[in-house]
Amino acid sequence: MLTVSLLAVTGFRHARGQQQVISVKDVLSLVQSQQPQLAGYKEQANAAGVNVKIAKNTMMPEVTAGYQAGYATYNNITGMSYPGLILPISGPPSSGNVYDPVPGTALGAMVKWNPLTFGQRQAAVEKAAAEYQLANSFYNDALFRQQYMAIATYLNAVYLQQLIESYKANITRTRVGLEQSLVYAAEGLRPGIDTTQFQAALAQAETELLNAQGQYYRELTELSRIAAIPGSPDNIRLSDTLLATPLPLVKTDTVKITDHPLFRYYEAKKGVSEAALKEVQRLWRPRLDIWANAYARGSGVGADGTIDKANGWSLTRKNYGAGIQVSFPILQFTQVNLQRKQQQATVKAATAEMEQVTLNLQKQQDIAQFNYRQSLLIARQSTVQSQAARYAYDGLTLSYQSGLIDFTRLIQGQYDLLKAETNEAGALLQAWRALLEISIANGNLEEFTGSIK
């Protein structure tokens, strides 16, 4: 038998014909380690983390080296080059237009450095860091929601598993009644119609079992999808029979909303807006550039104006230069001011979203606590009802065997017992769901998993 442990989830594999024993904690680990969608979100967060390094890397000088060779008209061959690498020089060397092509070459290196950005680089780094925090918060919130869905599906499957056991017990009771009715009918103690009615009741009981088994299979399929469990759902066995576990008492202490994954996501979203505002505010600042250039060039035009194409392929002239440039976006004030107002509105919107999320989570906590208390009361009453229905059915069975009651009274008692059993399972399920809702409202699934014994 293959057992899944928290230490082995990354190496989880399915072998045909073997059962996969899955607990709630196993499901949570499988969701985190194997779900493709969450893996994609994690990689997006990693990519956002690289952006922080990219923003910091702008402090490093930029050095570009290259070689050029080409043909151009005699008029400008001494000064024509591809822009960006070779700084232009004056020309042309001829007094008139000469359109004959002449070769020219150049080899150079350009250095550009922005050591001082007056806070612009720091703003870009802070924005990249905020976006990285947002990506991580989004992943954590998505993981939290997927794990919640997995637990909820697990609970539904456990509930259906309990229903299947109740339906099987009901089929057994019906078959016993059918066999007794055949004996009683043969001895003339009961009418033959009882046998027919028991047969109809047995068919109905088996139909209900088949429906429950179909729903159970669908829940296991959904669980295997959410948790990325390989293999067929037929080979999954649930190890945590929560509906048979005594319900724990939940503390009603106030939990910090700020620890909730959803709150942290919106907090990070606001942080990105604030960082973007700071970046916009620093756009209207000067910029200092330091440049240096060194290159060698060759021209097919001599100093006296004669053409010597052989010299065009050799690097006969060497040049270098360096300098600084301070630039200031004088006419961008209006544009920057509009962008600043836009980002300020975005920050206010993010603040309002955080306030709404805080209110929603607070109310969700209140409702979850109330529903849990109510669910405990209902679960206790359903247990009493189930026990009473079981005692009543046992008494009705003896009365039927003694000829004191007819089939209708017995089958009604049997139906009441089945209904009481399913109601008890449903009430226990609702109690565990209410406990799960408390964990969701508090943003801590360990409150739920820690209650499983």
Q: Is the dihedral of CA 222, 225, 227, 228 positive or negative?
A: positive
Measured at the CA of 214, the angle between CA 451 and CA 212, to 5 degrees, comes to 65
The whole-number pLDDT of residue 28 equals: 92
When pLDDT is cut at 50, 70 and 90, the band that residue 188 belongs to is low
111 φ, ψ to 5°? -115, 125
When pLDDT is cut at 50, 70 and 90, the band that residue 94 belongs to is low
When pLDDT is cut at 50, 70 and 90, the band that residue 14 belongs to is very low
* Under 8 Å between Cβ of 272 and 130: yes
* Under 8 Å between Cβ of 38 and 147: no
Residue ranges in 99-119 assigned as alpha helix (H): none
Whole-angstrom distance, CA of residue 452 vs CA of residue 250: 13
What are the strands, taking DSSP E only, across 214-300?
236-238, 287-299
When pLDDT is cut at 50, 70 and 90, the band that residue 350 belongs to is very high
Q: Which residues, listed in sequence order, are joined to residue 304 by a DSSP beta bridge? A: none
Biggest alpha carbon–alpha carbon distance for the chain: 137
- Most confident of the ranges 20-34, 112-126, 328-342: 20-34
What's the whole-number mean pLDDT along residues 131-152? 95
- The CB density around residue 285, as the number of other CB atoms within 10 Å, is 14
Whole-angstrom distance, CA of residue 310 vs CA of residue 298: 9
Q: In angstroms, how far is CA 102 from the centroid of its own chain?
A: 62
When pLDDT is cut at 50, 70 and 90, the band that residue 140 belongs to is very high
- The CB density around residue 452, as the number of other CB atoms within 10 Å, is 15
Q: Which residues, listed in sequence order, are joined to residue 238 by a DSSP beta bridge? A: 22
The whole-number pLDDT of residue 95 equals: 58
60 φ, ψ to 5°? -75, 140
**Which DSSP state fits 304?**
T
Residues of the chain with CATH 1.20.1600.10: 2-58+118-285+330-449
Task: Take residue 349 and report the two structure tokens written for it.
Answer: 């919107």
* Under 8 Å between Cβ of 134 and 272: yes
Whole-angstrom distance, CA of residue 70 vs CA of residue 84: 16
Half-sphere exposure of 143 (CA within 13 A, CB side): 24
Q: Which residue has the tokens 């920050």?
A: 347
Q: Which residues, listed in sequence order, are joined to residue 236 by a DSSP beta bridge? A: 20
* Under 8 Å between Cβ of 442 and 261: no
Whole-angstrom distance, CA of residue 384 vs CA of residue 386: 5
Whole-Å CA distances, 87 to 111, 113, 298: 12, 16, 14
Q: Is the dihedral of CA 257, 261, 264, 270 positive or negative?
A: negative
The whole-number pLDDT of residue 8 equals: 36
Full-prediction pTM beyond 0.85? no
What's the whole-number mean pLDDT along residues 325-334? 82
The whole-number pLDDT of residue 170 equals: 93
CB-count burial class (<10 Å; 0-12, 13-18, 19+) for 282 = middle
Residue type, 384: V
Whole-Å CA distances, 438 to 18, 96, 136, 432, 441: 36, 89, 24, 10, 5
CATH 3.60.21.10 fits 2-58+118-285+330-449, yes or no: no
Which region among 41-55, 228-242, 244-258 has the lowest average model confidence (pLDDT)?
Answer: 244-258
Rg (CA), the chain: 39
The whole-number pLDDT of residue 42 equals: 93
Among residues 412, 379, 381, 376, which one has the least CA distance to residue 397? 412
396 φ, ψ to 5°? -65, -35
Whole-angstrom distance, CA of residue 430 vs CA of residue 175: 32
